[in-house]
Each structure stands twice: as C-alpha cells, then as structure tokens.
Amino acid sequence: MGNETNCTVKMGGQKSEGKALLETSELIFRGGEFRLKIAIPEIKSVQAVNGELRIAFPEGNATFVLGPLAEKWAKRILHPKTVMEKLEVKAESTVALAGTFDDEFHKELRGLTTKISKGEIAADADSVFLSAESRKELKRVKKIAKAMKGATALWVVYPKGLKTISENDVLAAGREAGLKDVKVVGFSNTHTALKFMIPISQR
C-alpha cells in the first residue's frame, strides 16, 4: 500500500484540508473543497520545498503541505521502485511460480535469480507467485498454503477491474486458507499483487 496522510492542498487559488494517498501509479487527494487523482507518469515536475510537495501536471499545479513527508514522497515519485523491488525478490531468492506469467516477468526474475521452479513449491521457497485470472484459480491457494513454511510469501497476482475476480475474492481465499494478508502492490498496468504470509503465531 502507498503512504497516506492528512494534509492541506492548494491549487488554482483553492485550498482544502483532506487526505492524501501516494500509490504506485497515482497521487490521490480527497478533500472537502476538491479532489485530485494525478497519474504518476503524467507528472511534469516534482519539488520538495520547506515541507511542501509541489506538483506540476497537465491540469495545473498543486501544492501538498506535507511537512517532513514532502522529501520522501518526492523521492518516491522521481525514483519509483522496480517491480522486483516491490515484490521483495532479491538476488538468488528461491521463487516458485503457479500459473501463467508473461515473458517480461520471467525475464526480470531471471535477471535476479536462477532458483525458479514451476508448479511444485520448494520447501525453502522465499516467494510463491500465483497467477489468478478468475475466482476458479483461487482454489489453488489452499494447496499452496499447506506447502508454505516459515516466512514464505504467497503473492496472488490478479487483474484489475474485472468482474470475474476482485480484491475481496483474493482476500477471502487467502484468509480461508489460514493466511494473513500483509501487503498489496501494483504488479503492472493491468494487474495487482496481494501478499499473504503464515501468521507469526503459527510459524
């Protein structure tokens, strides 16, 4: 999940108190006077000055009064994490794949590790990635959960905005399998990844 904070935003002579949320692909503000949804790729310039995050984007200029968070958010916008960093895959991590993933994902994985298996979940796996394009494929979560040990992470990768599967469906499948949802990240422009782990008390 992205960072979230209460703040003041100034834009076009208007000023509003509200809540700002910095996600992987969007900067969102929900205020009493106005709301903003700024796509990160469309941002033209970013500055952090005296606790203010100053954003220039196609619709105009907006100033987020964030205090100490201004510099942190500016860095996140200017230097976004790679997909592998967001998914916490490190050099020579042991990874198991269940389901079908595109060539780009395979290429990025192979750039970090050679310890990649398909189908079978290795006992020492650091991460398991399950591709679920529909609710039917979520039936695999229980089987994967039984094979997980210790701090192994299960990432369920599912499409955005489809009626065939939703975040609530994914959450329900993980929880029914006895896992705890701990993180959600943008996997791509079309997919989201939700991370599950075995509760600490049960490891």
- Number of alpha carbons in the 13 Å side-chain half-sphere of residue 68: 0
**Tens of pLDDT, residues 136-188:** 999 999 999 999 999 999 999 999 988 999 999 999 999 999 999 999 988 98
Cα end-to-end distance, the chain, whole Å: 24
Q: Which fold has domain 3-78?
A: PH-domain like (2.30.29)
Task: State which CATH number among 3.40.50.150, 1.10.10.1400, 3.40.1440.10, 3.40.50.10490 fits the domain covering 83-202.
Answer: 3.40.50.150
Q: Where are the chain's structural domains?
A: 3-78, 83-202
Residue 14 phi, psi (nearest 5): -100, 155
**Tens of pLDDT, residues 63-93:** 999 999 999 999 999 988 888 999 999 998 9
Whole-angstrom Cα distance, residue 77 to residue 54?
12
- Name the average pLDDT for the chain: 92
